[in-house]
Amino acid sequence: MLQVNRSARTGRLRRVLLGATGSLVAVGLTAVAPASASPQAAPALAAPSLQGPDRAGDRLTVTVRKAGGDADGTYELTCHPAGGDHPDPAGACAVVDRGTRWGKDAFAPVPQDTLCTMQYGGAATARVTGAWAGRPVDARYDRSNGCEIERWDRLVPLLPDVRAQGRRS
């Protein structure tokens, strides 16, 4: 069976920035030149680097509940370089780096009205807060349906691999 994810927390607005040239830039979209400008006059936009010295501020706090075993707790993670008391800081930083793309939110919720399988992945929950790639992070995770399970599993080892917990039982 499928269910529609209509969570209230998924109705977040996209950020829109108005540049000094009057061009409108939306996260995930391309630049739109003002109506009066010719196509040749549209400014070239360069995506900021997602690697480098400006990434030293990548810091996350991960709080996990009801995952079982020693996976529950609150962990601090710093990246670029990897550190903190997270059980796998290098792996956690690498998995979030792989999901970090210009115009994409590595911590985005499941889009509203997404069809998700009605399966239950357990009672585990997690909250990730902090700053990543110069943006604030406040994301919640659970395993309440197929979409949320996939979203969680995509961030293992930042979040614990609860599939492995079930196989050990």
CATH code for the part of the protein at 49-168: 3.30.350
What's the rounded Cα separation, in Å, for the pair 42 and 56? 33
Q: Please list the pLDDT of the chain residue by residue as tens digits (169 residues).
A: 555 555 443 333 333 333 333 433 333 433 333 444 444 443 443 344 455 445 668 999 999 999 998 999 999 999 999 999 999 999 999 999 999 988 889 999 999 999 999 999 999 999 999 999 999 999 999 999 999 999 999 999 999 999 866 544 4
Q: Where are the domains of the chain?
A: 49-168
Q: Torsion angle, CA of 79/81/83/89, rounded to 10 degrees?
A: 60
Q: What is the pTM of this model?
A: 0.68
SS (H, E, C) 111-167: CCCEEEECCCCCCCEEEEEEEECCEEEEEEEECCCHHHHHHHHHCCCCCCCHHHHHH
| Amino acid of residue 140 | R
The conformation of residue 99, written as its DSSP 8-state character, comes to: H
Residues 6 or more apart whose Cβ sits within 8 Å of residue 150: none
